[in-house]
Amino acid sequence: MLEIEDLNLTIGETPILHQVNVSLKKGRVLGIVGESGSGKSLTALSIMQLLPNGARASGSIRFGDRQLLNASDELMQDMRGDDIGMIFQEPMTALNPVQSIGDQIAEGIILHSGVSRDQADRRAAEMLERVGLPPTRYPLSRFPHELSGGQRQRVMIAIACAQGPDLLIADEPTTALDVTLQAQILDLLKSMVEDEGMGLVLISHDLAVVAQVTDDILVMRDGRVLDSGPTEQILREQKHPYTRQLAEASSHIPERQEPILSDDQTDLGRTPLLVAENVVRDYPTKRESLFRKGKPFRAVDHVDLTLYPGQSIGLVGESGCGKSTLARMVLALDRPTSGSIAFRQANLATADKQELQKARRDIQVVFQDPFASFNPRHRVERLVSEPLYLEGHISREERRRRVAEALHEVGLNAGALDKHPHEFSGGQRQRLAIARALITRPALIVLDEPVSALDVSIRAQVLDLLADLRARLGLTYLFISHDLGVVRAICDEVMVMDAGQIVEHGTCGDIFDAPQSSAAKRLVEATPDLERALAKRLDG
């Protein structure tokens, strides 16, 4: 049905795709896997002929008996949304904020089948029902901002599938969602494809996701197809070195050594580093009416948490479960509404400035997005040394020496000192962020989704680094993530958070193998795992 031959693409002067060949039969599911910059999304946009300005393509893209490459606008407009539907990554921005969801679904229906408004609305309602948003609860008059990310992605699927296309292209449709939503959306996509007999091209950076859903697979890197064939065979045999590398990276578990604690730390080992008791954090909501205040939203609901020196505890939960709010309170960036958080017996909420500064030296943080976590205007020396502010005045030489030392710890050389953050790749920046967290020699590092924004191979390297640092420096980690797989790689114990409460606490193995709470079950079930996906296929 879809046949791409020798597709070459350049944007401006930069070559993007080289001799890409793709073939897809009706009713089959093809996965395109690759890390960022591999050209997988641009391959998809080439099929839709929605390439950015300045793009030049050559080769052939045949869909049925029609040539799509450089086809006329009129032909493509007939095909798009009718014969080929597409779903994008970012559900929060992919829908028009000022149009109701009904209008947005009906628009394509009216355009392509020329039916009346009423008929289109009826069809739109059917589609909403089909994607799991029954119109009795989610009327057509809803606006996108009244829906959650997962629900919006369902609306996107309804839009893309409204005309029963022959081919559906899904470009990282679940990357912006947490694992449970990801599982739901993948299930939905799979069942739509089976029911309607559509072909599906699923683009993802995640081998495990692709392994769950696809019949065939295509591995891309730097604009080239490196490996392709039936999913099971390719992933089981892992003949191509890059495929093997990706597979290993995606289920990578760093070698674990117990941290070497100094005598000092061992003495302290019996006393907890951080104790949080009955922590509650409420946020005010909008007023319900002129005279009634809205009921406050309880983001964190009576949480107890104890961290001993050298421990590495994972805090997992779906987005919005309150884990980041808890982290901010541990970092003393936010205060609990009630309850207490004590670091080495000092209550962070009531501590005076001096005590607080002292505690801050021992509690550092690494954020998720390596691009957002540095002031783009400063050089590395200044960026990494920022927490040294906590130690009062330090001479320039001393500062440079300490920064160079921290850089060395994370595997960067001192030549980085005078560079700006944009001169580094995402993985290197995350190393810089870790260097910044290390520079005050802290006891505790809060890691807030530190690898979620990284490609799998980089992710593996950063996880190795984190494990190594913990062992060598005797660090304590509070590791926050929505991804149980990553947490398992680095933590001994896991706490599962749901709706502001900690619903389960245990070792990684216990929770993975025998989850008790429904939240933990959901997470375990939804966590993409290459081995399990392959095993499941064999059974099925």
| Out of 248, 277, 386, 464, the residue judged to bind another protein by CB under 8 A | 386
Q: Where are the alpha helices (DSSP H) in 131-217?
A: 149-161, 179-196, 207-213
Q: Which long-range contacts (CB under 8 A, 24 or more apart) does 388-391 make?
A: 388/439, 388/440, 390/357, 390/358, 390/360, 390/361, 390/440, 391/361, 391/440
Q: Is 108 in the site for another protein (CB under 8 A)?
A: yes
In angstroms, what CA-CA distances link 215 with 28, 30, 183, 218?
6, 6, 17, 10
Q: Is 333 in the site for another protein (CB under 8 A)?
A: yes
Specify the residue for token string 């983001």.
Answer: 299
Q: Is 375 in the site for another protein (CB under 8 A)?
A: yes
Tokens standing for residue 20:
């890409």
| Out of 14, 65, 72, 97, the residue judged to bind another protein by CB under 8 A | 97
Footprint on residues 72-91 left by another protein (CB under 8 A): 73, 77-82, 85-86, 88, 90
**C-beta closer to another protein: residue 204 or 364:** 364
Query: How many angstroms separate the CA atoms of 104 and 90, rounded?
Result: 16
Q: Is 251 in the site for another protein (CB under 8 A)?
A: no
In angstroms, what CA-CA distances link 464 with 252, 302, 458, 467?
9, 34, 10, 5
Closest by CA to 473, choosing from 441, 436, 432, is: 441
Query: How many angstroms separate the CA atoms of 227 and 83, rounded?
Result: 28
Q: Is 377 in the site for another protein (CB under 8 A)?
A: yes
Footprint on residues 174-233 left by another protein (CB under 8 A): none
| Out of 331, 434, 486, 530, the residue judged to bind another protein by CB under 8 A | 331
CB of 423 to another protein, least distance (A): 8
CB of 510 to another protein, least distance (A): 32
Footprint on residues 39-58 left by another protein (CB under 8 A): 48, 50
| Out of 356, 414, 473, 503, the residue judged to bind another protein by CB under 8 A | 356
CB of 325 to another protein, least distance (A): 13
Count of chain residues binding another protein (CB under 8 A): 63
Cβ contacts of 444 within 8 Å, gap of 6 or more: 273, 274, 307, 343, 362, 363, 364, 475, 476, 477, 478
Q: Give 192-230 as a DSSP string.
A: HHHHHT-EEEEEES-HHHHHHH-SEEEEEETTEEEEEEE
Contact pattern from residue 491 through residue 520 relative to another protein, giving x for each residue in contact according to CB under 8 A and a dash for the rest? ------------------------------
Q: Is 431 in the site for another protein (CB under 8 A)?
A: no
Of 29-37, 260-268, 371-379, 501-509, the window that binds another protein (rule: CB under 8 A) is 371-379
Footprint on residues 264-323 left by another protein (CB under 8 A): 286-287, 289-290
Q: Is 140 in the site for another protein (CB under 8 A)?
A: no
Query: How many angstroms separate the CA atoms of 282 and 300, rounded?
Result: 7
Name the CA dihedral angle for 194, 197, 203, 208, rounded to a multiple of 10 degrees.
20
Biggest CA–CA distance in the chain, Å, is 79
Q: Is 488 in the site for another protein (CB under 8 A)?
A: no
Of 60-68, 183-191, 230-238, 358-366, the window that binds another protein (rule: CB under 8 A) is 358-366
Please count the CA atoms within 13 angstroms of the CA of 57 that sit on its side-chain side.
28
| Out of 70, 284, 285, 372, the residue judged to bind another protein by CB under 8 A | 372
**C-beta closer to another protein: residue 69 or 261:** 69
Q: What is the DSSP letter of 387?
A: G
Q: Is 436 in the site for another protein (CB under 8 A)?
A: yes
Q: Is 102 in the site for another protein (CB under 8 A)?
A: no
Exposure string over 43-63, b if 16+ CB within 10 A, otherwise e: bbbbbbbeeeeebebebebeb
| Out of 25, 56, 145, 536, the residue judged to bind another protein by CB under 8 A | 145
Q: Is 260 in the site for another protein (CB under 8 A)?
A: no
Helix or strand holding residue 17 (H, E): strand 14-24
Binding residues (CB under 8 A) for another protein: these are 48, 50, 73, 77-82, 85-86, 88, 90, 93-100, 104, 107-108, 111-112, 143, 145-146, 156, 159-160, 286-287, 289-290, 328, 331, 333, 356-357, 360, 363-365, 367-369, 372-377, 386-390, 422-423, 433, 436
